[in-house]
Amino acid sequence: MTTALEIASAVRDPELPVLTLADLGVLRDVSEADGRVVVTITPTYSGCPAIDEMGADLRRSLTSAGYSEVEVRLSLSPAWTTDWISDEGRSKLAAAGIAPPSRVGPSVAGPVPLNLVPPSRQVACPQCGSPNTSEISRFGSTACKALRRCNACAEPFEHVKEI
Amino acid sequence: MSFDNAYESLLGHEDAHWAFGTGFSEALSGVNREFPADVDKDALAAYCLMLGDDALIFSQRLAEWCSRAPELEEDIALANIALDLLGQARMLLTRAGEVLGKSEDELAYLRDEREFRNVHLAEIDCGPGPGGDFGTTIARLLVFSSWRLALFSRLAPSPFWAGSADPVLAAIAEKGLKELAYHRDHAAQWTVRLGDGTDESHRRVQAGLERVWPFVDELFATHAVETRLPGVAVDPASVKSEVDGVLDAVLSAAGLTRPADTRAARVAGMAGRDGVHTEAMGYLLAEMQHLHRSLPGAVW
Ligand SMILES: [Zn+2]
């Protein structure tokens, strides 16, 4: 029998199905004792509508693998940021034509600095690799994505925006 | 290939990839929710309602712009901001409901106007209808998100501030912090774009600032509930200078004038935090609550 951790790690994100929950960094813990599995996940955004579906998918996968008792818990802290997306997850996003986020590191202590102009981040085009791209919209089809355009090949593409 | 309905082709016969399920479970499922010893629980519930109602009511206002913003990208932006705030509201109302013995839905849909604790800034009508304008909505978003971000910065644990002694409130704030920073930047960048744009856009965002400014005073007024929660709540008066600094920086970059400090009328000194609301609130609640009240227990 495959371990509960392996099964939970393979469950896909409902909104970015190229990633598993483990790639996305929302799978925080899987513990197994006496046939009972407790999975802990964290939401990407406070209003993420996919969080219930993640829980349902985890329960479905584990139950069909023979685990009769499955509990899914939510954890809010430490809060998810795009830095939790694994290197493998970043490669999978790029391969699917979605520009992965750059790493932002820990936030500064104290008052959050104001950005009067969008931070100038080099986001390479996932189609042709050109670094010459610009933002079309700060918000995209899901909470975690922005929309960009490549100035070299003219293709629009999605970008998992850094938070 | 033939499908019985349009969704099947998207799903590839596997419903597991459909993000929007039919039942939304409660917002804090499985989070450790013990109350800190010696916390005033009634005050904590009231405080969570205050912060939760701010987010819920403003979320409702922002959602009104969906399909009516000046451009498609902004429809999506305002709806996304509304969604983040709705998520914060769900968690905060759930926390309040643990003390009050009520679910988040009961609190959102079955309370009457006098029981809502949001500030007036969240409820006033800034459009898209005849009561307002996109410039006014951007002005409100700038003020609201700058203020809420300053509060959440202090509620979240960090090397700089201790954070709320209520671990759930602290975790909700930590979660919402980056969202609010993104909202504030969005509003700030729009304020500069409009203020530094054409004569018409400058005029309209300046008018928006004049419209929302009388409601700014309430944001920094210390309420008795906050006084009863030392170490748990943030005294809003303590964030005033930080928020003023942010607003001044944005207005200066945008070439806009900070309106004179005035104060909207109150009833016997009471405002939103005491459950005394403006005329717009009744209409907002009627729209927000009518489905749930007409069809109790309805789900989608
Ligand atoms: Zn390109």
CB nearest to B29's CB, from A74, A81, A140? A74
| Chain B touched by A43 (CB under 8 Å) | yes
**Residues 6 or more apart whose Cβ sits within 8 Å of residue A102:** A121, A122, A123, A162
Q: Does the predicted interface ipTM exceed a cut of 0.95?
A: no
CB nearest to A76's CB, from B31, B179, B253? B31
Just give the CATH number of B37-294. Answer: 1.20.1260.10
- Yes or no, beta carbons of B90 and A136 under 8 Å apart: no
Is pLDDT of B221 > 90? yes
Write the pLDDT tens digit of every residue in B159-200: 899 999 999 999 999 999 999 999 999 999 999 999 999 999
CB nearest to B21's CB, from A15, A56, A141? A56
Task: Report residue B148's pLDDT band, with 50, 70 and 90 as the boundaries.
Answer: very high
| Chain B touched by A12 (CB under 8 Å) | yes
Is pLDDT of B131 > 80? no
The CA distance from B296 to the nearest CA of chain A, in Å, is 22
Q: For chain A, what percent of residues have pLDDT higher than 90?
A: 72
- Yes or no, beta carbons of B160 and A43 under 8 Å apart: no
Distance from C-alpha of B32 to C-alpha of B299, rounded to nearest angstrom: 27
The string of DSSP codes covering B236-272 is GGGGHHHHHHHHHHHHHHHT-PPPPP-----BTTB-G
Catalogue all structural domains in chain A, each as residue range(s) with its CATH number.
4-74 (3.30.300.130), 97-102+114-160 (no CATH)
Distance from C-alpha of A145 to C-alpha of B146, rounded to nearest angstrom: 23
| Gyration radius (Cα) of chain B, Å | 20
Tell me which residues have their CB within 5 A of the ion that is ligand 1: A 125, 127-128, 130, 150, 152-153
Q: Are B43 and B228 in contact (CB under 8 A)?
A: yes
Write the pLDDT tens digit of every residue in A55-65: 999 999 999 99
Q: Which residues of B touch A47 (CB under 8 A)?
A: 83-88, 90
Task: Report residue B8's pLDDT band, with 50, 70 and 90 as the boundaries.
Answer: very low
| Chain A touched by B172 (CB under 8 Å) | yes
Over residues A97-111, the mean pLDDT reads 89
pTM metric for this prediction: 0.92
Distance from C-alpha of B104 to C-alpha of B55, rounded to nearest angstrom: 13
Write the pLDDT tens digit of every residue in B224-237: 999 999 999 999 99
Average pLDDT, chain B: 90
Write the pLDDT tens digit of every residue in B20-51: 443 445 677 767 788 988 899 999 999 999 99
3-state secondary structure of B11: helix
Write the pLDDT tens digit of every residue in A118-151: 777 789 999 999 999 999 899 988 888 999 999 9
